[in-house]
Structure 1
């Protein structure tokens, strides 16, 4: 059975804690900007560095494992396009934060062999402090034989 609107509201357990480190922040900032030498924003270095805003996807992507591992949904990462991404911030991620991510299915629309799935991943500290919500729109195609079934 493919994913349907009946799956809206399904949440998965939080991921294992991810420790934000100075080294990971520096690696991520260096990868931004490609061959131009990365993002040299001073906020990403120094005594109390914060992570670039898009660093949240590193942790959020771990929560996607539960979604794509849910056999009932029939989703395959290789047939999925990441169509849209939004981050709603409470506060920046900082060195020393231990962060967990919890994914929820927000909306599902099925059209032919295409599934449009909206998900949100809530990031919080292990103590429960909200940090960010990463919302994504996914477009998934099912094999043709499933459409006819």
Structure 2
């Protein structure tokens, strides 16, 4: 098959080879924070690091492939250099993808920013993301104003 287009198959979990099942479990442990490092995750499931690295980028939860998740967040930011940049860097570091950004002219030292963020690949839930964003110096308020799932 010399086709650059990815092909996906829906396969019952019980017929998957053990190494793939263990890779899925290791990824789940990492995603949920039950293991802090890949080494910890593979040790917990009894898998070699090489097998994990061989399969990890080709295994995706079914719902992550099928849906595009988008949240819209409203934030009040201090009108200071670097606050917006820190917030956007935090989103990117957690594999969020900013789709739209709208910022008002700062009034009384605060700017309102509205972001639409694709979250399907994020390592955080929307609630976790808003909590972490609100802890960034200069971020005064974070509110989720919309959540939507789109079929992929």
Q: TM (normalized to structure 2)?
A: 0.23
TM-score, length of structure 1 as denominator length: 0.24
Which structure carries more helix by proportion?
2
More strand by share: 1
| Greater RCO structure (CA 8 Å; 6+ sep) | 1
